[in-house]
Amino acid sequence: MQKGGKKVPGIIIAGLRGGSGKTVVSLGITAAWKEKGFNVSPFKKGPDYIDAGWLSKAAGRPCYNLDTFLCPSSAVKYSYIEHSQNCDICVIEGNRGLYDGIDTDGSTSTAELAKLLNLPILLVLDCTKATRTMAALVLGCMKFDPDIRIIGVILNRVAGKRHEKKLKDNIEKFCQIPVFGAIPKLDSEDFPERHMGLVTSEEHHFADKAIQASIQIVQENIDLNGLYTLISRREYSDDSRIRMMGELEVSRNQKLKPVSVTIGIIRDSAFQFYYPDNIDALIRLGATIVYISPLKETSIPDVDAIYMGGGFPETHAAELAQNIEFKRILKRLSLKGLPIYAECGGLIFLGQCLSLEGVDYPMTGIFQIRFGLCKQPQGHGYTRIEVVHENPFFKTGEILTGHEFRYSSVLNIDYQDYEMAFRMDRGKGIVDKRDGFFKQNTFGTYTHIHALGTPSWASSLIGMANTYKALKS
């Protein structure tokens, strides 16, 4: 259990909007505390794989996502308490602006997560061309919801010492909270952006250098000792209610009866978007995990099911197209009834081809879908799904929550209505508000689900794997 029966101290790092600099601050604080010898448990609020990947690299351990749209509040509490055990401190990076959510109540906001977990907030401010106004914005955030606790701020993109002094004096006078540091305007070379976030740490050839740069930025500009001392105070580090909820959820999972199957997970720089909770759920139910790369391997080991996550197959389209033997084997296994579950980038790999700048790159051809790539997102945000057709993975009538984020588009598709398991109540899906394309035991969807919010997914995949294994023997 956690030290002294108490919740490990933690901090939520939030901003006034997306792009305020909270990712660099979160990375730097996480990596700097790790370098000082702390065991840091990182979390990312919201449906985000890229920032989570960087935080995982900075902490040297998996980063878990906390999302009250994808998962029930009790499951979010469980994930936080479970993955902060035996750590010295937790760092949670928020998303978008502090109060931004999908409704006027802010029910999915970073602020609501802070209240749910009873955690203090460190606010990162983009101070470009502003001084006293930043104090007004901070004060507004503090008074907008008196149940949250903003305990300090980090000034970002500060123009110089004079600018910093004006900001600090105003915030400390009118808001009466400390300024823990001021970061000057930085060159973007260490953290290049692509799509709507950072490039993945796996794709960044200088990932270690970028992490070291973030450590230096934080160590030179932020009072880490003062911040740690403040959030370690008793009022910020003890909440037996959360601990009890975590223990309740753990006891529920201990009742599961595991089976012994082997799940192959397609994972490399082309397919890297996986929630750790999803893989953990499979392991908890008895799966042995084998990682497989269509970029490096020409064969597929003996597995009982395959899980293919998302990623950026478009950046590796030529390599994927050239691995003819791997694609041939995967298609043959699909025809034999091997359970295959694919999300987004994995769905593209199951298709007929990916067309980029007039060149068609052949994929596996399991599904008769031609994909293209657009400059603007073709699907972006949370999804809510009703299962409307019988399929191998989900029961009809089931309501699922997930999210989609894609630049790919469907250029052409050959399907029957009954082959689309999902109707999109929220989100775009594959075509005509339909998603969840399946043939035999192969299932592809643009929607990413979270295992703690959709527990039927892991048990279904394990059950199908067990059945397939029995048929092989």
Positions marked catalytic? 344
The total of other beta-carbon atoms located within 10 Å of residue 258's CB is: 11
> Residue 145 class from Cβ within 10 Å (0-12 exposed, 13-18 middle, 19+ buried)?
middle
Angle (CA) 377 194 425, round 5°: 25
Place of tokens 């603007």: 376
Which helix (DSSP H) or strand (DSSP E) does residue 408 occupy?
strand 408-413
Q: 64: which residues sit within 8 A by CB, 6+ positions away?
A: 42, 43, 44, 52, 79, 80, 83, 275, 276, 277
Angle (CA) 6 153 82, round 5°: 25
135, 154, 128: which is closest to 218 by C-alpha?
Answer: 154
Give yes or no for a contact between 310 and 448, defined as CB atoms under 8 angstroms apart. Answer: yes
3-class secondary structure per residue, 30-96: HHHHHHCCCCEEEEEECCCCHHHHHHHHHHCCCCEEECCCCCCHHHHHHHHHHHCCCCCEEEEEEEE
C-alpha distances (whole Å) from 313 to each of 257, 295, 320, 344 are 36, 10, 8, 10
Separation of alpha carbons 278 and 462, rounded Å? 12
Tell me which DSSP letter residue 143 carries. H
Separation of alpha carbons 273 and 136, rounded Å? 39
Give yes or no for a contact between 382 and 356, defined as CB atoms under 8 angstroms apart. Answer: no
Length of the chain, please?
473
Separation of alpha carbons 369 and 26, rounded Å? 40
Separation of alpha carbons 472 and 161, rounded Å? 70
C-alpha distances (whole Å) from 173 to each of 154, 165, 178, 279, 312 are 16, 12, 10, 48, 47
Specify the amino acid at residue 118. N
The total of other beta-carbon atoms located within 10 Å of residue 401's CB is: 21
